[in-house]
Amino acid sequence: MRVGISSNGVVAKVCGQVVPFAGQVVNVRGHEQEVASNGFRRNESFITESMKLLHSISGHHRSLVRAIGRRYFAASTEEFAKRNYANNDSEYNTVITSLTFQRRHYLLRDVYDDMMLDGVKPERDTFHSLIVGTMKGARLQDAFFFHNEMKAMGLVPDVALYNFLISTCGKCKNSQQAIQILEEMKRYEVKPTGQTFICLLNACAAAGRLDRVYGIVRDMTAAGLGLNKFCYAGLIAAHKNKTPITDDTASKIIELVEQSKGWSSVESTRDNAENVMMGITEEELYNTPTAECIHRRGGFIFRELTVYHVAFHACADLRNVEAMEILLEMLTKDGKPLDVYCLIQIMRCYLHSGDLDRGQKVFEDYMNTGKQPMVELYVTLAEGAMLGHTPRGMQLALETLEKMVARGFNLNPKMGNDLLLAASGEKTGGYTMANYVWDLMQSRNITPSLPAVEAYYNGLKERDIPADDQRLMLVSRTYANQRQRFRQGPGRS
C-alpha cells in the first residue's frame, strides 16, 4: 500500500487502485461506501483494506487526515454530488441530527472528520448538535473531543453546552470530570445557572458521591436557589449509589420523598428553549431513570411523580420490599395515581427479591383491570423471572413472552438485548428461553449488541452442539462481526 498526494488531491493506492480518501462515503447512515461514476465498486474486503490504511496513517486522532484539509477529486461536479452526502455546515448539521435521532452516535466522529476533509468549518450550532448526540449516546471521550475542537476554533462554549457536558459525565459516572467542567466555566467567566447545579448534583449522585452532592445542595441554598424535584431525585440516587450500602439507606430515601413534598412550583425548573429545540427533556438532562420513556403516553408515566419514580427504582435496585411498600402507602395517602412506571418498579422489587408469586400477581392484577397492556410489563416479568435461572422462573419467562407475542407486541433492540443477556446465563436446561429470544430478534432483523451475542455464543459453545449447526454458525458470524465493529476505534468512555 502507498499513500500519495497528487495535483487532484489526496489519494491512496491500495491493491493497485487509486482511491480518494473520504469522498467514497455516499451514505453514512446506511454505512454504504462506494465509488460512483468511475466504473468500479469496492467490495467488502476492499473497504476493510481502505479503512485499515486510513487508521494506520492517521491513528486515533487522525491528525494527518485533518492536516491535509479540503478534498479535491478528479471528478466532475455532478459525480462529486452523487457520492457526497453533505456540502456545507447546514447539510452536515442535518446529518448529525438524523444520526442522533437514529441513535447512531458512534458515527458522529466520522461525520466530523468528513467536515474537516471537506474544509467545512463547523459553527456553534453544529458543535451543540455534536455534543448533544454524544450526550445521548453516553460517549464521554467524543464529547470532550468536540469540546476541545470547539475551543481550538476560538468558540467559547456557552452555559447550555457546559450543561450537556456535565450531563454526559453523569451518564458515564465520572463526577471528577463534571467538577472540572464547573471550574472551567469559572475560568471562562461563564455564569452557571440553576440547571448547571442540578446537572452537577445528579452527575455526582450517579457516582454515589454523597459528600459532593450535599456540598452542591449547600451551595445552591447559599445562592438562594430552592431545591426542586430533580434535586430530591438526585439526593435519593446518591444514597442508592453510595457504597457500601448502609442500614439507613432505605429510611433516608423515604425521608427524602417526604421532604420533597414541600417543593413549590416557584422552585420548579422548566425546559429551556434550546433544550426543547434539541429534543432534550429535563429527565434526560438530569439522567433520571425515566429519561428513556418520558414521552410515553397512555398512563405510562406521570411527570409529577418524578421523586416517587426515582425512589421506587432505588428500592427495586436495593431489593428492599419493605421500603417499597411504605412508598406505595405514601403514594396512596397523597391521593396520586399509580402510573405504569411505578408498577414496573414494584414488579422489579418483588422479582429481584425472589418473590415470583407477588411479582406475577402485580402483572396479572393490572391486566385484569382492562387497561391498555404495555410491552414493558411483559418484558419486566420475563426478565425478572429469569433471575437465578430456576426451572420455574425460566418457564414463567417463556410463557410470558409467548403471551406477549400472541398479543401482537414486538421487542425493540434494547428489550431484546436485555432479555438475551439474561437468558444466556442459564447453565443447565435446554437453553430454550435464550433460543426463543434470539429467534424473536432475528424475526425483526435486530442485530444483538456485542455483550448479548457474546453471552449467547458462549452459552451455545458450552453445550453439545455440532460445529456445523446452522444456529451456531449464524451466531458465530454475528459475534465476529460485532467484535470487529465495536472493539476498534476511539470514542468509547
pLDDT in tens, 203-231: 999 999 999 999 999 999 888 888 999 99
Which whole number is the average pLDDT over 241-253?
94
Tell me, yes or no, whether 354 lies in a domain: no
CB 201 within 8 A of CB 239: no
> Domain span at residue 105?
82-155
Domain boundary among 226, 258, 280: 226
Tell me, yes or no, whether 101 lies in a domain: yes
Angle value at C-alpha 354, between 353 and 358, nearest 5 degrees: 90
Lowest mean pLDDT segment, chosen from 57-66, 101-110, 395-404:
57-66
Secondary element (H or E) of residue 33: strand 32-33
Mean pLDDT for all residues in the chain: 83
Question: Is the per-residue pLDDT at 75 higher than 80?
Answer: no
Query: Each residue of 24-34: pLDDT tens digit?
Result: 333 443 343 33
The x, y and z cell numbers of residue 63, run together, are 491528525
Which whole number is the average pLDDT over 171-181?
95
- Report the percent of the chain where pLDDT is more than 70: 78
Tell me, yes or no, whether 189 lies in a domain: yes
Confidence bin at 17 (pLDDT 50/70/90): very low
pLDDT at position 8: 36
Tell me, yes or no, whether 250 lies in a domain: no
For residues 134 and 166, give the distance between their C-alpha atoms in angstroms, rounded to a whole number: 12
Is residue 133 located within the same domain as residue 190?
no
Confidence bin at 490 (pLDDT 50/70/90): very low
pLDDT at position 386: 97
For residues 226 and 147, give the distance between their C-alpha atoms in angstroms, rounded to a whole number: 30
Amino acid at 119: G
Confidence bin at 266 (pLDDT 50/70/90): very low
Domain boundary among 155, 185, 204: 155
* φ, ψ (nearest 5 deg) of residue 6: -105, 175
Lowest mean pLDDT segment, chosen from 263-267, 444-448, 475-479:
263-267
Q: Classify the C-alpha dihedral 232-237-242-247 as positive or negative.
A: positive
Is residue 87 located within the same domain as residue 99?
yes
Tell me, yes or no, whether 138 lies in a domain: yes
Tell me, yes or no, whether 191 lies in a domain: yes
Tell me, yes or no, whether 177 lies in a domain: yes
Which whole number is the average pLDDT over 328-339?
94
Confidence bin at 20 (pLDDT 50/70/90): very low
Question: Is the per-residue pLDDT at 430 higher than 70?
Answer: yes
Whether omega before 490 lies within 30 degrees of 0, making that bond cis, reads no
For residues 238 and 202, give the distance between their C-alpha atoms in angstroms, rounded to a whole number: 8
Q: Cα 117 to the chain's mean position, in Å?
A: 28
What total of structural domains would you count in the chain? Answer: 2
Secondary element (H or E) of residue 9: strand 9-14
pLDDT at position 115: 92
Query: Each residue of 100-116: pLDDT tens digit?
Result: 999 899 899 999 999 99
Tell me, yes or no, whether 99 lies in a domain: yes
Domain boundary among 201, 226, 251: 226
